[in-house]
Every structure is written in structure tokens, then in C-alpha cells.
Amino acid sequence: MYGNHFYNESTRRYVAVFGTMFNDIQIGRSNNAGTEVQRMTVPINYAPMQKILAKLEQDPNLDAPAMTLPRMSFEITGMAYNAERKLTSMTRQVNGSAGSDGSVTSLFTPAPYDIEFQLNIMTKYNEDGMKILEQILPYFKPDCTVSVKMIDELNTYVDVPIVLTSVSQEDTYEADFQTRRALVWTLNFTMKAYYFGPVSTKKQIKFVDVDLYPSFAISDSGTEIEVTPGVPVSVASLTTGTAYRIYDLGSASSTTNQAAWNTYLSAVGQSYKVGDAFTATSGTAPTGATATLPFTAIDIDDDWKHLVIKSDGDGLI
């Protein structure tokens, strides 16, 4: 759709999570003395109830093992959009990549859908059905919330409530005495799921050049403000012959700082301000002065600060 192919395996994950919730249910059987003589794990698979019941009656493969009870099956019976759980459509989830290119992975807010599941418990004896049912009902009051990993690229986990909406029983024994009996408990659930769209990976925005005044004359008294990344270091530790920009003029008075910069750069009568470019020398650095490399030489992993530079065509700043 819209020329963008993607597959997040959302429905597959929801089915796997739902089936996993019931795949370790066990029942035991005791003798007249109350001693447990048998314990079994109730098998579960994704299949319609009618298919399981038909398998009990006839087997197309004569050499196939017989299907025994108790067992469980589940299936998706429907899906519906839930407008009550809708979030702002333009909200994004963002995660930075581990690579050195500074790219970020993002996706838009997911669409909320209610998935209807039906769980069928099929037993030969009514007591077996009660034993299975009592291991399920206490956990749904009426919902049970599970955490599902939905998007591998973002390592995104979503809390998904599963609501038990109804419980019913059916006895399929309606034929002769040779027909196998099957007691069926039907539990209907509503999973409050989300469906995510495509994941996009884009370069991280590191620098923004904004013209507050696209053009102005000197008489307009406009001020140009430049905000750029900076990694301040002491001027005394700069590499001679390398280009830098002034980050802090120094810790002395304004007059003293200006004189110190003229001495350091072997100049006379010059006036310096934050953001001015210069080439480091081997002279005596102004006390407390710091400088930063140009933003093109700053690495993404450096400890960034911000450098605010104000300038005006009429020379007042």
C-alpha cells in the first residue's frame, strides 16, 4: 500500500502469545484413595473446534495415532477497529541506531484493533473440564495483561490486555451409545492489540541553519543569530596552526581580554567577540579563554555545548 512493502508479523506474534498462555496446563487423576496416579499436559493447537471434533470421529489416515481427550484449540474469530484507544496519528516512536552514522529509526502511532479469540476446551469427563477451567479463570479479572515485543528494530514492547468476555459449555452427545462423547467449554477473549506501520530509518538532524531575517539592510538594525554546536577547550591547549572559533573571551575584564587576544594573535587594536574565527598560535593564551573547533570538525560522540553568535551589519554587535 502506498508503494511501501513491510511485514511486522503482528498477527503471528499475537497468536503465539495467546497460545503460549495456555500451553502448560496440566491435570491429574487420582484413585479412590485420593492418590494421584496420572498427570498429563493438556495439548493445545490452533484449529477450529469443528475440525478437532471431526478428527475424533474419523481419521483419513488409518495409520495415524488416535486423537485423545482432553485437549484444547483456539482460533481468531474476528477483528474490529477500536476508536476509543486511538492516539494522535502524528506521534512518532524514535530509537537511535548503534551505528556511527547517527541515524534514527522511527514509526508512527499504531492502529488499535480488538482481536476476538475463541478457546475451546474439549474433554471426555466433566471433571477434567473443571480442572482445566479452574486454572484459567483466576487470572482473568476480567483481563490479563501481557507484554509483547512488536518491533524488533526499535526493541518495542507493548502491554496488551486480554479480556475474558464469556464462558459457555456444550455437550455434543446426541447420537447412539457408540458415538464418542465430547464436553466442550468455549471461552471468548478480546485482545486489545495494536498494528504498527512501516519502520523508517533516517539520518539524525545535527545542524539546522535558520534565517530569522532572510534579507535586511543595515538601516533595518536587524540582528543575525547563529546557534552552532561547540566543544570548548582551553586556548592554552590548542594545536598551533589549526582553525578555531572563540567560545569564551576569558575570565578577566573586557578591556584586559581584548588586549590579551591582540597579544596572543600578534595584532594591534583589533576587537574580538564570541564566534570569531582564528588560527591558534604558540603565544600566551588569554586567561580563562576557551575555543571550539568548527562544527564540521566536531564528532557526533563529543560532549556538545551550544555556541550563540550574534552579528549585525551596522557593526553595533
pLDDT tens figures, 273-282: 888 889 999 8
Q: Does residue 41 have a pLDDT over 60?
A: yes
Q: Which fold has domain 10-90+107-196?
A: STM4215-like (3.30.2000)
The pLDDT tens digits for 3-16 are: 778 888 999 999 99
* Contacts for 308 with CB less than 8 Å, ≥ 6 apart: 225, 226, 227, 274
* Distance, CA of 165 to CA of 85 (rounded, Å): 18
What would the grid cell of residue 107 be?
A: 514509526
Contact 114, 190 (CB under 8 A): yes
Query: At which residue does the C-alpha cell 495456555 appear?
Result: 22
| Exposure of 158 in the CB half-sphere (CA atoms within 13 A) | 22
| Exposure of 156 in the CB half-sphere (CA atoms within 13 A) | 25
Average pLDDT of the chain is: 81
208 residue type, one letter: V
Q: Does residue 56 have a pLDDT over 60?
A: no
Sequence ranges of the domains in the chain: 10-90+107-196, 206-311
Contact 252, 287 (CB under 8 A): yes
Confidence of residue 168 (pLDDT cuts 50, 70, 90): very high
92 residue type, one letter: R
The pLDDT tens digits for 169-221 are: 987 665 555 555 678 999 999 999 999 888 887 776 666 666 665 555 655 65
Q: Tell me the whole-structure pTM to 2 decimals.
A: 0.61
The pLDDT tens digits for 111-157 are: 999 999 999 998 888 889 999 999 999 999 999 999 998 888 777 78
Kindly report the length of the chain.
317
* Distance, CA of 248 to CA of 277 (rounded, Å): 12
Name the phi and psi angles at 39, rounded to 5: -135, 135
Nearest C-alpha neighbor of 204 from the set 306, 97, 92: 97
Least confident range of 19-23, 63-67, 77-81: 63-67
